[in-house]
Chain A
Amino acid sequence: SQELEQSPQSLIVQEGKNLTINCTSSKTLYGLYWYKQKYGEGLIFLMMLQKGGEEKSHEKITAKLDEKKQQSSLHITASQPSHAGIYLCGAARKYNTDKLIFGTGTRLQVFP
């Protein structure tokens, strides 16, 4: 089974709706990263969370880290077609390491 489980695996929403993507780790987190991938392209960094309770925002995307639950959620407010793509969470398994484990991704489609 995956060390990082993402849910849902895919999501189809109407433009303007809010949505949440979850990432749950089976092991201790030393940093949780969110990336976005447009179809057929490389990944683009969104944000990184390190401390329990930490919350960061990037435009209309907000991510939170629940350290006790070893879980992070990514929330998109008022979704737009430009938000469509694959969202991947990544985690560091050791302190001060650049080696990341990634989840399998959540595919988001936004229709007008």
Chain B
Amino acid sequence: NAGVTQTPKFQVLKTGQSMTLQCAQDMNHNSMYWYRQDPGMGLRLIYYSASEGTTDKGEVPNGYNVSRLNKREFSLRLESAAPSQTSVYFCASKRIEGPEQYFGPGTRLTVT
């Protein structure tokens, strides 16, 4: 099992460009999450999907959109990137039973 995979690992964008961060899990988990991690701010939830076909906003959803394509995949889209979106983005998944969220390795995004 690969667990939770994220692509790309690194990305540099110019202000106004768009891109999609990809996340996939092979553990048959129902719930999936997108977080961003910034120095001094900790880890903050952007969007959450409890199951295929459903999504819900987290603490900091502005400037992002998500798609739960199927049970395995949950993508995060930046339509018009801003320097404030420079961050490390983590995807996570969780099965219905049990408290543990399984995290991917992260995508380091810089917006210039």
Interface of B is mostly: strand
Q: How large, as a class, is the contact surface on chain B? A: 20 to 34
Please report the number of residue pairs spanning A and B whose Cβ atoms sit closer than 8 angstroms: 52
Inter-subunit contact A103/B99 (CB<8 Å) = no
Most chain A CB inside 10 Å of its own CB: which residue of B4, B94, B101, B106:
B101
Nearest-CB residue, chain A, relative to B4: A42
Q: A98-B50, A98-B94, A99-B58 are in contact. Are A45 and B99 (CB under 8 A)?
A: yes
Inter-subunit contact A42/B90 (CB<8 Å) = yes
A99 to B99, CA, bound (A): 11
A2 to B59, CA, bound (A): 13
A98 to B48, CA, bound (A): 9
Inter-subunit contact A88/B100 (CB<8 Å) = no
Inter-subunit contact B48/A104 (CB<8 Å) = no
Q: Which residues of A contact B (CB under 8 A)?
A: 2, 4, 31, 33, 40-45, 48, 88, 90, 98-105
